Amino acid sequence: MKTLVFDSHSYDRTFLDAANQGRHQLVYTQAQLDVTTAAMAQGYDAVCLFVNDRADAQVMERLAAAGVRLIVQRSTGYNNIDLAAAKRHGIAAMRVTSYSPYSVAEHAVALLMTLNRHVHRAFNRTREFNFRLAGLLGRDIHGSRVGVVGTGRIGAAFASIMRGFGCTLLGHDKIQNPDCLALGMKYVPLDELLAGSDIVSLHTPLTKETHHLINDQTLALMKPRAFLLNTSRGGLVDTEALIAAIERGAIAGVGLDVYEEEEGKFFRDLSDHPMNDDVLARLISFPNVLVTGHQAFFTEQAVTTIAETTIQNLTDHEEGRANECLLT
């Protein structure tokens, strides 16, 4: 299939080409899909999207007019795709149902340990030959209560790691995961989890129900010495409310791999440009906040699986086969 790969980078080309083996005609562009770039898909059978490409109703109309009949999303989340509009225009949508859950889970732990032991601050100090310990005091993670919001494959992998640290596990999800129950996890309402946890990690999809799950009210429930981690979707957290909580000392530390207004910023080198997002600039300025650029998924194993599944989706659709990745 002739496929335009939006929001592509060198690593996308490397892994997709390796998985493709010349089977489909892949054309790469660094442009992100939105209403102004949809016309680029003229003459293509399919478009390949990433998390910050925008396939809303208006874009879907333009893709259909351009002749596109398939969207392959190279991620698990697909909140950027208007599925109802896709169905109206006869455009099939497919995604990557799963990839290495350890990639995201391990990154969440990396954020936690970096924050708790001030590794980022110590790194900068020692580069200047400053070996003082003042201000670098952490605490044992062993014995902590860890709240996992969303206990699917990634949440379960994170829970397993934290159980290995000797932590007590609390969970919140609509469906209780037997693997988490086997780890000794206790499922509780969200309010109870937030109030009782020393560490809270978000691993739930972004939906209308979970948008701004962490807000003024829910942040007020958390312990002042608690850590908050988000490696799922930026929209789970009300960033303005989070900044207010940090400013009043109501939270010990925050590790974010995602940001609700990351579109147009993450996956880009903006080091030569002034930051035009005052909220993000403020967030990054806090010494107890660690922000990474949506890289939790970025391991060899995970990216290989994403590429192979994306190519298989193209092939299955071309040959008239449905699979578990089909959304519409």
Task: Give CA separation, 46 vs 7, 63, 96, in Å.
Answer: 14, 9, 16
* 146, β-bridge pairs: 169, 199
Alpha carbon dihedral 32, 36, 37, 41, in 10-degree steps, equals 140
The reply to whether 233 belongs to the active site is yes
Q: Which of 262, 263, 318, 321 is catalytic?
A: 262
Element (H, E) at 27: strand 25-28
Q: Which of 117, 233, 268, 319 is catalytic?
A: 233
* Residue 208 CB contacts under 8 Å (≥ 6 apart), including other chains: none
DSSP 66-90: HT--EEEESSS--TTB-HHHHHHTT
* 214, β-bridge pairs: 237
Q: Are 36 and 250 in contact (CB under 8 A)?
A: no
DSSP 88-121: HTT-EEE------HHHHHHHHHHHHHHHHHTHHH
> Tell me, what DSSP letter sits at residue 288?
T
The rounded distance, in Å, linking the Cα atoms of 40 and 29 is 9
Q: Catalytic residue positions?
A: 233, 262
